[in-house]
Amino acid sequence: MASPSTRSYHGCDKDSDGSKRGKLSVLIVDENVLVCRVHEMLVSKLKVAKELLTETATDGKEALDLHLSGSSFDVILMEMDLPIMDGPEVTKKLRAMGVKSIIVGVTSRDSKVDREAFMAAGLDVWLEKPLTAHKLKSVVEALEKK
Amino acid sequence: MLGWGVEFLRAEMNRLLALLFHQGVLDEQFLQLQQLQDESSPNFVSEVITIYFHESEKLLRNLRLLLMERELSDYKKMEIHLNQMMGSSSSIGAKRVRNVCVAFRAASEQNNHAGCLRALELLEHEYCYLKNKLHELFQIEQQRALASVVRYPARHN
C-alpha cells in the first residue's frame, strides 16, 4: 500500500531581491526515507525562490497519482529503483501525459546501460547519489534557462 | 573551568572527526549534512543518523536472510537492498560502508555466492565500526551541549 505523500512549505524572509522567482515546487520520489529527508532539507536551503514547496512520494504509482490528481512540479527528483512502478516507467508515463517538469534521475546505479535506459525514458538530467547543494543548484539554474 | 570543559570537548569532537575522515570512514557529505542543520532544525543530523541506523539494520538483516537461502539466492532483490544501502550511506557520507556495498553489488551481479558472503561480513563489520564511532561523536556533542548551558549559581541578596 502506498504511504501518503508529504508536503512541506518553506518561505524565504522578505527581502528586496526582485530577481528571485516567486515559487519553486519539487517532487522527491524515493522509497528511502533518509534520502527523502536529506533531499527535502537541501531544497529548503535553496535561495532561488520566495516560496519553496516540496512533496515526497515513496513509490512510482504515488508519483503518477499526484500528477493525475492535478498536481504539477517544476522539478522532480526521481530514483530509479522504486516499488510498484520504477523510475523509468513513471518517467515514460509522465512524459506521455505531457508533463514538462525537469525530471532528474537521482540514483545509486552507475552502469552505462541503466543510465541510458533511464535517460531514454525522458529524463532531463541523470545524477549519481549523493545529491549535493551544488548539484541541486545547477539543476535549478537549468530550469531558469528553460 | 566550565569554559575549559566546553573547549576540551569541542577539541575531542574535532579530533574524532579528523580521525574518521583520515580513515576514510566519513567523507565531505557528512560535513554537508552538518551544514544543513540550523536553528529551525537543530537535531537534523542526529535525526538523519538515527534513520540511517534503523534502515541499515533492516537492510543488513534482509541481505543475510537472502544469502542464507541455500537453494537459490535472489540476487535481484539483493541488488535492490544494496542500492538502498548505497543511497543512504552516500547521503550521510559513510564512505567505507558505501564502497563495500559497491564490491558487494559487483559480486551479486556475478551471482557469486561466496563473494557475496565475504562482502556481507565486511559490510557488517564496517557498519558496526561506523555506528560505534558516530555514537561516540554524539555522546561528546551531548556533553558539550550540556557543559555550555551550565550557569554559575545566581547571586541572592
**Local confidence pLDDT in tens for the 157 residues of chain B:** 555 588 899 999 999 999 999 999 999 999 999 999 999 999 999 999 999 999 999 999 999 999 988 666 788 899 999 999 999 999 999 999 999 999 999 999 999 999 999 999 999 999 999 999 999 999 999 999 888 887 555 555 4
Instruction: Tell me if A96 is assigned to some domain.
Output: yes
Are A108 and B87 an interchain contact pair (Cβ–Cβ within 8 Å)? yes
Measured in angstroms, the CA of B70 and the nearest CA of chain A are apart by: 26
Q: Give the residue numbers spanning the domain of A60.
A: 6-145
pLDDT band at A3 (very low <50, low <70, confident <90, very high): very low
Give the list of residues 6+ apart from residue B4 with CB closer than 8 angstroms, or none.
Answer: none
Residue A6 pLDDT grade (very low, low, confident, very high; cuts 50, 70, 90): confident
Is residue A131 in some structural domain? yes
* Model pLDDT, residue B70: 63
Q: Does position A19 have pLDDT exceeding 60, yes or no?
A: no
Domain membership of residue A19 (yes or no) is yes
Say yes or no for a CB contact (<8 Å) between B92 and A34: yes
**Number of domains making up chain A:** 1
B87/A30 touch (CB, cutoff 8 Å), yes or no: yes
Residue A5 has pLDDT above 60, yes or no: yes
Element (H, E) at B127: helix B113-149
Q: Is residue A1 a part of any domain in this protein?
A: no
Which pLDDT value is given to residue A16? 45
How is A76-118 classified by DSSP, letter by letter?
EEE-S--SSS-HHHHHHHHHHTT--SEEEEEES---HHHHHHH
Read off the pLDDT of each residue in A86-104 and give the average, rounded to a whole number. Answer: 97
- CATH number of the domain that A84 lies in? 3.40.50.2300
Disruptive mutation site among A10, A29, A32, A131 for chain B (greatest number of B CBs within 10 Å): A32
| Reported confidence tier of residue A1, pLDDT bands at 50, 70, 90 | very low
Who among A30, A35, A45 is closest to B36 (CB)? A45
Residues of chain B with Cβ-Cβ distance to A31 below 8 Å are 84
Cβ–Cβ gap B84/A38 under 8 Å: no
What is the ipTM, given to two decimal places?
A: 0.88
Burial B84-105 (b: 16+ CB within 10 A, else e): bbbbbbbbbbbbbbbbbbebbb
Inter-chain CB proximity B51 and A34 less than 8 Å: yes
Classify residue A58: in a domain, yes or no: yes
Over the stretch A27-58, which tens digit does the pLDDT of each residue have? Answer: 999 999 999 999 999 999 988 888 899 999 99
Q: Is the predicted pLDDT of residue A2 greater than 60, yes or no?
A: no
Inspect the interface and report whether the beta carbons of A133 and B32 lie closer than 8 Å: yes
| Cell numbers given for A27 | 517532487
Q: What is the pLDDT of residue A84?
A: 94
CA nearest A131 in B: which residue? B91
A10: nearest CA partner in chain B = B40
**Contact between chains at A35 and B91 (C-beta distance less than 8 A):** yes
Tell me which chain B residues have a C-beta less than 8 angstroms from the C-beta of A33: 51, 55
